[in-house]
Structure 1
C-alpha cells in the first residue's frame, strides 16, 4: 500500500459508505444555501440523480477519477452501444460537459503527437500510467521493436494497463512499475514520456516543477515529453485562455453545479500557459510548444530535453 508520502491524490483507495457520503453532501448543500440558477431543492435533486449511476457515485465518493474511469471517459463514443443504458444525466456528463469534451479531445491530441514521434527501437513511458491508452492504442506496425513502461502508484491502474496490453498484443513489450512519479528510479532512460492527470490534482507549484524535473531525468538527451494541464476559468483568472464562444453556456453551468458545488472535485490545480512554460523551463526543457483544444481548457504541451 502507498505510504503517507506516497498517496493517491486523484481518488481514494478504500471503499466508503455511500449513504453516509450522500447524507454529508445533503447537509453541506443545505448549509451552503441557494446559488444563482439553482435553489437548494434543485441542488439536492441533482445530487440524487448523480447517485443513480456508477460514475456519479464514484465521483461523489472520490472527487476525482481513477485509471479505469479516465480510460472509459476518453475512449467513450456515443455509438458504441453503451449510451442506451445510461441515465439522462449520465449522458449529459459524458457527452456535453466542456471539461469532459476537452479531456477526450486532449486524449486524441496525445495519441496524434505520440504517433508522430514514434520510431523503431524507441522506449516510451507513461507516468502515471493509468491504463496507458495513449500508448497502448497507437499503431506500432512501423515500429515493432519498441518497449513500453508504465509507472503508477495505484496497483489497480497497473492491472488495467496489463489487461489492455494483453488485449492489444503488447504485453511482452510492457514493463510496469509501482512507484511514485516524483521518485521513480529509471535504470534505463526513455525516448518519450507521456504524462496526463497528475499535475491537475497538485496545487503546489514547486511540487509540479519537481515532477517535471523527474520527467527530465527520466528522458534520454533529445527525448520528448508530452504532457497537459488545466487552464483557469475566467471567473478565477483574468489570464484565462478559455474560448467562451466554443462553450455551451447551459453545459458549462451544469458542470459548475456538479463538479464545483455538489462534488467538489479535486482536479482544480489550474495553471496558465505562461506558468506551465516557466515550470518546464525551470525543469530544463526546451522547444516548448502548446496544442490547445477547441476551448483552450486542457492544452497539450510538447517539450524536449536538450541533446
Structure 2
C-alpha cells in the first residue's frame, strides 16, 4: 500500500477502523470494561465473559471485536458462507466452524438478511447484463456481486469497482483475475461523497 493510500484509508474509512493494538490487548480491554460495568438486568458478567471467549474463538469474531465493523474480505466471507461454510461446516481455509460461529453466521437476523439481499440483488443485476452495459459497485468490497454474474454471449461490457479501502480493491483485482475478467474491470479508490463520475453507469449497486 502506498503512503497516500494508507493515509486516505486511515482518514476516511468509517466501517472498520483499524486499532493500533493486538487482539490480546483488545480482549483484555473488553474484559475489564465488562467487569467494571458489572451485571446487567438481562445478562451477568460471567455470561458476558463466556460470550466474549466464544467470539474470539474464530477469525471473524476477532476482526469484529477489534475493528468494530466489516471490511471487503469479511463481507464477502459472510455472503459466500451460505454457499460453502453452511453446507460443509468448514471455512475457506479448511478450518471447522465453531458452534458459536455457526450460530453467528446462520441465525443472526442481520447476517441472514444480508445474505438474502445478496441473492436477490444478484438476480436483479443479472437482468441488466447485455452488450454495452456499464455496471458499478460502491463500495465494491471484493466485488464478487458483479464478477460472478453470467456474461455468456455478452462481449462488450464494463465493470467498475469503487471503494475507499485500498485492501478491498486489491482483493477485488485478484478476484477479477480468478474470474478472467481483468480486461473488463476498472477500480477507483474514492470517497463515496466526492465521486468524479457523472451519468457513466447503467446500474450502480452496493455490496
TM-score, structure 1 normalization: 0.60
Q: Secondary structure at the match of 1:193?
A: strand
Instruction: Identify which of 196, 201, 205 aligns with 1:185.
Output: 196
Out of 73, 79, 94, which is 1:74 matched to? Answer: 79
Count of residue pairs brought into register by the alignment: 196
Residue of structure 1 in register with 2:103 after alignment? 92
Residue in structure 2 matched with residue 119 of structure 1 by the alignment: 130
Q: Aligned to 2:191, what secondary structure does the other structure show?
A: coil
In 1: Cα distance, 2:38 partner to 2:115 partner: 33
Q: CA deviation at 1:31?
A: 2.9
Matched, 1:139 2:144: no
User: Residues 19 and 66 of structure 2 are in contact (CA less than 8 Å); yes or no, is this contact kept in structure 1?
Assistant: no
Query: Residues 19 and 67 of structure 2 are in contact (CA less than 8 Å); yes or no, is this contact kept in structure 1?
Result: no
Partners of 1:132 and 1:161 within 8 A in 2: yes
Taking the aligned partners of 1:16 and 1:152, their CA distance within structure 2 comes to 25
* Alignment correspondent of 2:168: 157
How is 1:33-112 mapped onto 2 (pairs within 5 angstroms)?
A: 33-76=38-81, 77=83, 78-80=86-88, 82=90, 85-112=96-123
Q: What TM-score does the superposition give when structure 2 sets the normalisation length?
A: 0.87
Mapped partners of 2:184, 2:191: distance in 1 = 22
Is the contact made by 2:10 and 2:17 (CA closer than 8 Å) also made in structure 1?
Answer: no
**Contact map agreement 1:129 1:151 (CA 8 A) in 2:** yes
- Partners of 1:138 and 1:180 lie apart in 2 by 26
> What is the alpha-carbon root mean square deviation over aligned residues?
2.0
1:117 counterpart SS class: coil
Q: Please give the alpha-carbon distance, in whole angstroms, between the structure 2 residues aligned to 1:18 and 1:5.
A: 19
- In structure 1, C-alpha distance between the alignment counterparts of 2:101 and 2:108, rounded to whole Å: 10
Which segments of 5 or more consecutive residues in structure 2 lack a partner in the other structure? 1-5
Distance change in 2, residues 1:54/1:5 (3 Å): closer
| Contact 1:2 1:8 (8 Å CA) reproduced | no
Give 4+ residue runs of structure 1 displaced > 3 Å after superposition: 2-6
SS at match of 1:79: helix
2-side partners of 1:41 and 1:13: how far apart?
A: 28
* TM-aligned CA distance change 1:136 to 1:123, over 3 Å: same
Determine which structure has the larger helix proportion and give its number: 2
Measure the CA separation in 2 of the matches of 1:89 and 1:15.
Answer: 27
Please list, as runs of the form range in 1=range in 2, the aligned pairs for 1:289-300 lying within 5 A after superposition: none
**Distance of aligned partners of 1:185 and 1:5 in 2 relative to their CA distance in 1, 3 Å threshold:** farther
After superposition, the C-alpha distances for 1:2-51 in whole angstroms (9 at most, x for unaligned) are 44895111112455321221121112222333234421100011101111
Q: Sort the Cα spacing of 1:188 and 1:131 in 2 relative to 1 into closer, same or farther, 3 A.
A: same
Consecutive unaligned residues of structure 1, counting only runs of 5 or more, are 197-307
